[in-house]
Amino acid sequence: MIAETILLKARMGNTDSHTLASARAAGAYRASAKTLAAAPEEIVQLVKDSGLRGRGGAGFPTGLKWTFLPKNRDATYLCVNADESEPGTFKDRLILEEDPHLLIEGIVIACRAIRCAHAYLYIRGEFCLPHERIRAAADEAYAAGLLGPNAGGPGQAIDLTIHRGAGAYICGEETALLNSIEGKKGQPRMKPPFPTNVGLFGKPTVINNVETLANLPFIVEKGPDAYRAIGTEKSPGTRLMSVSGHVERPGVYEVAHGVPMRGLIEDLAGGVRGGRKLKALIPGGSSTPVLTAEEAYAVNVDFESVQAAGSMLGSGGCIVMDETTDMVWALDKLAHFYAHESCGQCTPCREGSGWIAEIVRKIATGKGTRADLEKLESLAAQIVGNTICVFSDALAMPVVSHVTKFRAEFEAHLADRASSSSAAP
Amino acid sequence: MAKFTLNGVEREVPDGINLIEAALLSKVRIPHYCYHPGLSPEGNCRMCVVEIEGIPKLQTACTTLVADGMVVETESEKVIQERTEVMEFLLRNHPIDCPICDQAGECGLQKYYMEHGLHDSRVAVEEKILKRKRVDLGPLVVLDSERCILCSRCVRFCDEVAGVRELVLANRGGRSEITTFPGRTLENPYSGNVVDICPVGALTSKDFRFKVRVWFLKTADSICPGCERGCNIYLEQYQNEVQRIRPRANPDVNRWWICDDGRLDYKWINRDRLLRAEGEAGTHPPERADEEAARMLKEASSVLLVASPRSSNENLFALKRFRDAALPRAALVGGSFRKPWEEDRILKRPDRNPNRKGMELLGLSGDLEGALRTGPECVLVVENDLLGDRPELADLLRGKKLIALASNRDATAEAAALRIPVCTYAETEGSWTNFEGRTQAFRPVLKAVGESRPVFRVLEGIARALEASLAWSDFETLRAETFQAAPALGGLARTSGGGAHAL
Ligand SMILES: Cc1cc2nc3c(=O)[nH]c(=O)nc-3n(C[C@H](O)[C@H](O)[C@H](O)COP(=O)(O)O)c2cc1C
Ligand code: SF4
Ligand code: SF4
Ligand code: FES
């Protein structure tokens, strides 16, 4: 039996956990107060020592990212990525709704560390309650002087601007997010230059995920060693896993990195619904390669273990599919999502995403041929690696993994399937 | 300077340029669509990929600056495969419009498909996404969305060069489309340039579309006569009529652009031309016309010769020599009453005469109105529509014997007692000196219309009838003499860099 390890969810669960009064009574802003006496470099060092890795998808070491900022700079921005639109992922939403002060405290700490006087929070357009909550929390924080002209110490401002997106998945990609805040069309920028050099309004900028920043108060308050005591060597701390799909109790579970995936599904999420068997599992949000049941049950919830199994822990969006799932239709859903969300700049992604979605639909509806299946695989290979952002890779990975791991199902859907091949599910 | 290796050969190129430009300096062309040297690089078409040693992924040449020690392959198997794949994607939703598309013959898709595509289609025609056709974007430009490859050159042109946000890439993914912002039209004074830079047939010129297939056009390097900037242009003709003007890249003058006024400033070449010499007694063959002019000039007690800042340096010099040799007592002044237009920060200069500077450097400016007031009995006006530009001058000119050397039936030619047809700049060699003192040559693209002759040849003929000696064996001799007599013109200017940047 595994249990949750509560670090970020500590104050959540009661009806007014989102208010300043409630949060403060439970210890909020103690850590950020502590940083007022610290030099920025010390905070950066602390975070580096903690081994904190980004929760937005790539798992990039947070402290290291901060050190990429140029030494001499006249302004620095922090952009908080609250666009959370990856299918299967809904953990930032929990923080925004239930403990927005945890995030604001994390923002204040990050701002102190990177000498940022103005943070922007980019929040997904469809997030109504989360927006209401973070807005109200920011107002409270301003009123209490936790944000505002002296929030970083006497005469040192930390301002927070909340920017609502209009509902585009691609705006979660960090440079598209920057464009969107600047009032431009939300499409990714070329890299280099990287945002830490040329970011928001052309200034050095750090972009961090909501959950990433929410880890900072604990790290500051308890220290890197306490943080490293949780989780694994390469994946310290806990992880908010969004579990959805065919389980008895879908939800956001906080587990120490390194727990078995089986434990997360069976002990915490109540197991596959109706006592059915697991067929497939997407471990880290829709863009991560799907795992077969055997693979899923063999991995642990940490970056390195999932990676060793050929997938990624990504943003921790765990989509569970039971034995009744038609994997062709599952891919169809994903393919249509990506075709709809490609920003359309890059030729391979713009044309490839629509083409792939069409072919998957053709196969799913029984009209596909062997040539279509081949085309599907070659197109997936064709869109990888030659685009401005990794969106196209994020589409190719599910396509390739679905087709290769569940090939028989795809073949069974083909109009010209060999009569010997097994019947449709 | 940076030393890098291109397809196995070491090259030295200036620092700070991208790989497309660096390769071009060694005559290696890297196929590209979205990159244009006059616009910021965006790296969206993915056609320009190259292999760089030490970097596992292919890189876009347009966004990669050349660096010392870089080893670049532009024709490796991996690169060629990627290009073919990008071509397949670009053509996936492209309509089968070539037979009716104006771009055919100068289309980037046709060009690179032949060079890098040649794949068999894996798309059924009925699977292609249908989009808007014949979208009226503004006074000059029509959009066919299905043909658009979404390279965003047109958008960047408006934003970065014209400085107005008129076009935008709307929607996402396969539904992406070029459009004007709501309530706006593409009407900036440089809008025609988007047609030239559109690598495909998505943007076509209302003025040119369906007129003639581009492979029938004959082209000459020329200079825009519109203002004293002297933008470099291509003049293109079919059946001895100018069909269109396109900008010719010159980094020192107009970069890659021209204004819309300049682009449309050719219709007069085809229209209302003076075909034959006409006097009060009817038309004259050329030789008779020269004799008639000579007679009028000889009989007059006082003569004024009027030069024009629209004439070429060579013709202006010929006029000076004509005065010296044939009519030493005649007054000679140059000038223009053309109303200036509004200058902008892009190309347009206020003075709408292409050779104001050359005329000045040849010592021909002066008080035109004052000279007319002195009451010359006979006035010879060369390539200068005094009355068209300033109708009030009619009073001053009344009672004077007027001879006009004119290409068109303009107001001055119509009022003249004798009008002799001369070639426009589209039919002759010549040079103009722009406001910065840059002397630029233009070349003929048309055969002389009707009985028109170059100005200097008409002057020779009149001089002959006046028994003065004035003759140039050919145009080059005249040009050499002109530049020798007026060193201030500086001879023909050299441009500092690249010529046309097709695609
Ligand atoms: C297509 C795409 C969508 C993304 N969406 C999100 C998102 O919704 N939220 C997020 O935090 N990161 C998202 N990312 C990752 C961000 O680009 C960025 O890496 C991340 O915000 C960095 O934060 P971290 O270092 O704290 O993880 C996305 C990336 C891609 C390519
Ligand atoms: S890969 Fe796709 S989503 Fe990313 S920039 Fe290119 S077109 Fe846009
Ligand atoms: S209309 Fe032409 S220039 Fe504009 S984006 Fe389309 S292809 Fe490019
Ligand atoms: S990506 Fe380089 S030219 Fe388009």
User: Do B31 and B120 fall into the same domain?
Assistant: no
Please tell me the predicted confidence (pLDDT) of residue B126.
Answer: 82
Ligand 4 pocket residue status of B227, Cβ below 6 Å: no
Collapse the DSSP code of B223 into the 3-class scheme (helix H, G, I; strand E, B; otherwise coil) and give the result: strand
State pLDDT tens for residues A49-102.
999 999 999 999 999 999 999 999 999 999 999 999 999 999 999 999 999 999
User: Do B121 and B16 fall into the same domain?
Assistant: no
Contact B254, B436 (CB under 8 A): no
Please tell me the predicted confidence (pLDDT) of residue B216.
Answer: 95
The residue range of the domain holding B214 is 94-269
Going from the C-alpha of B295 to that of each of A56, B416, B418, B438, B454, the distances in angstroms are 92, 15, 11, 39, 21
Secondary structure letter of residue A248 according to DSSP: S
Over residues A155-170, the mean pLDDT reads 96
State pLDDT tens for residues A297-311.
999 999 999 999 999
CA of B31 relative to ligand 4 center, distance in Å: 8
Cβ–Cβ contact B171 with A under 8 A: yes
Report, at the CATH architecture level, how domain A238-322 is classified. Answer: Roll (3.10)
Going from the C-alpha of B184 to that of each of A269, B12, B198, the distances in angstroms are 54, 47, 20
Please compute Rg for chain B using Cα positions.
Answer: 27
Over residues A130-149, the mean pLDDT reads 98
Nearest C-alpha in B relative to A187: B172
Task: Sort out which chain B residues have CB atoms less than 8 A from A377's CB and list them.
Answer: none
Going from the C-alpha of B111 to that of each of B87, B91, B199, B204, B448, the distances in angstroms are 11, 13, 10, 18, 35
Which CATH number characterizes residue B195's domain? 3.30.70.20
Q: Peptide bond preceding A250: is omega within 30 degrees of 0, i.e. cis?
A: no
Answer whether residue A392 shows pLDDT above 70.
yes
Interface contacts A/B by beta carbons within 8 Å: 83
Write out the two tokens for A348.
């391979």
Over residues A205-210, the mean pLDDT reads 98
d(CA B52, CA A379): 24
User: Do B38 and B142 fall into the same domain?
Assistant: no
CA of A386 relative to ligand 2 center, distance in Å: 10
> Nearest CA to CA, how far is A60 from chain B (Å)?
20
Domain A20-228 fold is Rossmann fold (3.40.50)
Number of domains forming the structure of chain B: 3
Last residue of a domain, one of B34, B68, B89: B89
Answer whether residue A268 shows pLDDT above 50.
yes
Angle at CA of residue A169, ends A167 and A174, nearest 5° = 110
CB within 8 Å: A386 and B127: no
Q: Give the dihedral of Cα atoms B254, B256, B262, B266; nearest 10 deg.
A: 120
pLDDT above 70 as % of chain A: 98
Ligand 4 pocket residue status of B453, Cβ below 6 Å: no
User: Do B416 and B292 fall into the same domain?
Assistant: yes
pLDDT tens, position by position, for chain B (503 residues)? 999 999 999 999 999 999 999 999 999 999 999 999 999 999 999 999 999 999 999 999 999 999 999 999 999 999 999 999 999 999 999 998 998 898 999 899 998 888 887 778 888 888 888 899 999 999 999 999 999 999 999 999 999 999 999 999 999 999 999 999 999 999 999 999 999 999 999 999 999 998 999 999 999 999 999 999 999 999 999 999 999 999 999 999 999 999 999 999 999 999 999 999 999 989 999 999 999 999 999 999 999 999 999 999 999 999 999 999 999 999 999 999 999 999 999 999 999 999 999 999 999 999 999 999 998 999 999 999 999 999 999 999 999 999 999 999 999 999 999 999 999 999 999 999 999 999 999 999 999 999 999 999 999 999 999 999 999 999 999 999 999 999 999 999 987 655 445 56
Task: Sort out which chain A residues have CB atoms less than 8 A from B122's CB and list them.
Answer: 375
User: Can you give the residue ranges of every domain in chain A?
Assistant: 20-228, 238-322, 327-423
User: Do B350 and B411 fall into the same domain?
Assistant: yes
Which CATH number characterizes residue B379's domain? 3.40.50.740
pTM: 0.93
d(CA A369, CA A212): 45
Please tell me the predicted confidence (pLDDT) of residue A420.
Answer: 47
CB within 8 Å: A358 and B127: yes
Contact B417, B401 (CB under 8 A): yes
Ligand 4 pocket residue status of B323, Cβ below 6 Å: no
Residue type, B264: L
d(CA B300, CA B233): 42
> Nearest CA to CA, how far is A58 from chain B (Å)?
18
**B502 in any annotated domain:** no
User: Do B174 and B197 fall into the same domain?
Assistant: yes
**B434 in any annotated domain:** yes
Single out the residue of B46, B36, B29, B44 nearest to residue B84, CA to CA.
B46
Q: CB under 6 Å to ligand 1: residues?
A: A 54-58, 60, 81, 83-86, 170, 172-174, 207-209, 212, 389-391, 394
Please tell me the predicted confidence (pLDDT) of residue A421.
Answer: 47
Cβ–Cβ contact B187 with A under 8 A: no
Q: Tell me which residue in A348, A351, A388 faces B93 most closely, judged by beta carbons.
A: A351
Collapse the DSSP code of B389 into the 3-class scheme (helix H, G, I; strand E, B; otherwise coil) and give the result: helix
Cβ–Cβ contact B326 with A under 8 A: no
More confident of the two residues A164 and B497: A164
**B207 in any annotated domain:** yes
B303-307, strands of its sheet edge to edge: B282-284, B277-279, B418-421, B401-406, B378-382, B303-307, B331-334
User: Do B263 and B280 fall into the same domain?
Assistant: no
User: Do B112 and B156 fall into the same domain?
Assistant: yes
**B180 in any annotated domain:** yes
CA of B45 relative to ligand 4 center, distance in Å: 5
Element counts in chain B: helices (H) and strands (E): 16, 22
Ligand nearest to the CA of A172: 1
CA B44 to chain centre: 30
Interhelix angle A216-228/A40-50, rounded to 10 degrees, is 50
Average predicted confidence (pLDDT) for chain A: 96
Q: Whose CA is nearest to atom 6 of ligand 3?
A: B148
Please tell me the predicted confidence (pLDDT) of residue B213.
Answer: 93
Q: Whose CA is nearest to atom 12 of ligand 1?
A: A56
**B421 in any annotated domain:** yes
User: Do B181 and B263 fall into the same domain?
Assistant: yes
**B503 in any annotated domain:** no
Collapse the DSSP code of A118 into the 3-class scheme (helix H, G, I; strand E, B; otherwise coil) and give the result: strand
Residue B6 has phi, psi (to 5 degrees) of -115, 115
Ligand nearest to the CA of B142: 3
Answer whether residue A261 shows pLDDT above 50.
yes
Domain A327-423 fold is de novo design (two linked rop proteins) (1.20.1440)
Q: Which long-range contacts (CB under 8 A, 24 or more apart) does A186-192 make?
A: A186/A343, A187/A343, A187/A344, A187/A345, A187/A388, A188/A343, A188/A345, A188/A388, A188/A389, A188/A391, A189/A388, A190/A388, A190/B41, A190/B42, A190/B43, A190/B63
User: Do B76 and B116 fall into the same domain?
Assistant: no
Residue type, B435: F
Please tell me the predicted confidence (pLDDT) of residue B497.
Answer: 55
Answer whether residue A424 shows pLDDT above 50.
no
Contact B271, B397 (CB under 8 A): no
> Nearest CA to CA, how far is A166 from chain B (Å)?
13
Contact A414, A365 (CB under 8 A): no
Ligand nearest to the CA of A212: 1
End-to-end CA gap in chain A: 33
Which CATH number characterizes residue B79's domain? 3.10.20.740
Collapse the DSSP code of A244 into the 3-class scheme (helix H, G, I; strand E, B; otherwise coil) and give the result: strand
User: Do B66 and B31 fall into the same domain?
Assistant: yes
User: Do B226 and B310 fall into the same domain?
Assistant: no
Please tell me the predicted confidence (pLDDT) of residue B64.
Answer: 96
CB within 8 Å: A347 and B127: no
Query: Which pairing describes strands B177-180 and B203-205: parallel, antiparallel, or unpaired?
Result: unpaired
Contact A316, A91 (CB under 8 A): yes
Contact B480, B313 (CB under 8 A): no
State pLDDT tens for residues A14-27.
899 999 999 999 99
Over residues A271-284, the mean pLDDT reads 97
